[in-house]
Chain A
């Protein structure tokens, strides 16, 4: 076959991948879309190996098989609770792969590439390394290996500025240097970019994690696209660019959902200084009477549970609000059982999903789908918020920041201005949370203050719901 026909096959593959993404606009067709994308990717890889006559090289075959086996294991064994970690990890490995390809292209003596190609290669090196460094920190934060609180180093801004200046100077140097010098400079560029990525990610607070993951997702695509530009590989350019803009769309949606600007997240403006945070928590304590902190007795707890049961039993319309605490307690199963019981009693039950509930966009939907909650009962925030007014009970399971009414009033906190689910408008609010500590964003929740129509059921959400299920 001629070179042209190979190009045509590649183009068809790109179109196939594009149609696949188009099919993702509905849960009915999404699976077909994903399979179409996978098939096109497979064909594209085989086509490239045949057209460049490199199919028989053992080093390629072994590497492909090794990668495929590791990929399979990751995909099969990951739990749905830990999907954010997996996505962050894959953001990182995608970025690293692109950076390494750029490094090989820039430094190997076989490559005689144009100035523009060297320039885009250097950019791929930077973007890929930033993505890798940033993603590793994100994985560690999501997995609880390091604290989710934003870390602001002494002179964080200066350090950032220095790495940025270093990058800007090194990119043209790599572009014009000869092979030997290019290796040294490229290594330096990688190190600086890794530091930049790490500096970016450690300053992102837990509540901003969905934004950070979306942004890193986008960067991994841009890294790939720039590798494509450096190697004149049209397939990589096109697909990388699509991934890049997908990540940007999600980043925008996340920013809108949290009312924070991407620049604020990047420059760490949303990261609270310790001083303000302490001031805020003391304000929270002042306004909460000591009585609410009294240790609950066994009688006390069972009385509260009975009250909650009675309220749920009398309710006609119930909205369940899941948060990441549900995933931590693995309470999805109990939530599903609750849904079944309540519906059997003729009650109307809906789920309210905040865009940033959980640690990444759409995480709650996946967790609920796993326990076979039908997706037509899951409502996004804009659709469900007007309904809380005529709702009898809002049942919060492991959610905190996304239902925190302080977002409307507490100026200067990270969640101020963030649209929240208006659970406080429902006749009753029942909260099943582990404790009354502030959520991931570190802001106290006024819902925990004693109110007539709020019942707080402290403890493991799975256990609490099991008891409720028995009583109902």
Chain B
């Protein structure tokens, strides 16, 4: 049951994402990509749960590595996107 809900959600999100991203002007494609870097770090939520409930020491270690990597994406991605977007200014104010 849960698997099917996930699968349906996957396709809905992919479709909605496709429509939204198509509207982003080429002017902002670089910040868009770094923003997507940040979002791909969402896997951190899976990493947190997997690490917390892992039994083996090895699993815990690997889980911790995954948390570090995913958090780099989330924090680094959002920050660098903000840094870039801050710079975009209009000519005539």
With a 10 A CB-CB cut-off, give which of A44, A83, A100, A227 has the most chain B CB atoms: A100
Residues of A contacting B: mostly: helix
Closest to A354 in B: B26
Residue with the highest number of chain A CB atoms closer than 10 Å, among B46, B72, B75: B46
Contact of A238 among B9, B63, B67, B87 (CB under 8 A): B9
Q: Which residue of B lies closest to A252 (CB)?
A: B22
Query: Interface segment, A69-77, A199-207, A449-457?
Result: A69-77
Among residues of B, the one whose C-beta sits closest to the C-beta of A41 is: B74
Q: Is the CB of B16 within 8 A of A242?
A: yes
| A334: interface (CB < 8 Å) | no
Kindly identify, within residues 48 to 93 of chain B, every residue whose CB is under 8 Å from any CB belonging to chain A.
48-56, 59-60, 62-92
Which residue from A64, A104, A228 sits with its C-beta under 8 Å from B71?
Answer: A64
Q: Please determine whether B85 and A31 come into contact, CB atoms closer than 8 angstroms.
A: yes
CB distance from A387 to the nearest CB of B (A): 17
Query: Using Cβ atoms and an 8 Å threshold, which residues of chain B touch A223?
Result: 40, 43
The verdict on A63 contacting chain B, using a C-beta distance below 8 Å, is yes
Task: Please measure, in the bound complex, the distance between the C-alpha atom of A14 and the C-alpha atom of B42, giving whole angstroms.
Answer: 11
* Interfacial chain B residues near A229, Cβ < 8 Å: 3, 6-7, 10
Chain B count of residues within 8 A CB distance of the other chain: 85
Q: Could you mark each residue 293-315 of chain A with 1 if its beta carbon is under 8 Å from any beta carbon of chain B, else 0? A: 00000000000000000000000
**Residues on the B chain within 8 Å of A337, using CB:** none
Neighbouring B residues of A237 by C-beta, 8 Å:
6, 9-10, 13
Determine whether the beta carbon of B34 is less than 8 Å from that of A83. yes
**Chain B contacts for A66, CB-based, 8 A:** 68, 71
Majority secondary structure of chain B interface residues (helix, strand, loop or mixed): helix
Q: Give A72 Cβ to nearest chain B Cβ, in Å.
A: 6
Cα–Cα, bound, A362→B27 (Å): 6
Are A74 and B72 neighbours in the complex by a CB distance under 8 Å?
A: yes
Q: Is the CB of B30 within 8 A of A44?
A: no
Closest to A372 in B: B89
Check B66–A97 contact: CB distance below 8 A.
yes
Q: Which of A8-29 contact B (CB under 8 A)?
A: 14, 17-18, 21-22, 24-28
B residues within 8 A CB of A360?
29-30, 33
A107–B88 CB distance below 8 A: no
**Cα distance A105–B54 when bound, in Å?**
8
Inter-chain contacts of B12 with A (CB < 8 A): 238
Return 30 A-B CB contacts under 8 Å, by A number: A21-B21, A21-B24, A30-B31, A44-B45, A62-B64, A71-B75, A74-B72, A75-B76, A90-B77, A94-B70, A94-B73, A100-B69, A101-B50, A104-B50, A104-B54, A105-B50, A108-B59, A220-B36, A224-B46, A229-B3, A236-B42, A238-B12, A242-B21, A246-B32, A249-B18, A249-B21, A360-B30, A361-B30, A361-B33, A375-B91
Q: Which 7 A-B pairs have the closest CB atoms?
A: A67-B71, A374-B91, A362-B29, A71-B75, A71-B76, A242-B17, A75-B79
Q: Report A's interface with B, CB cutoff 8 A.
A: 14, 17-18, 21-22, 24-28, 30-31, 34-35, 37-38, 41, 44-45, 48-49, 52, 54, 57, 59-60, 62-64, 66-68, 70-72, 74-76, 78, 80, 83, 86-87, 90-91, 93-98, 100-101, 103-105, 107-111, 114, 116-117, 213-214, 217, 220-221, 223-225, 227-229, 231-250, 253, 353, 355, 360-363, 365-366, 369-370, 372, 374-378, 380
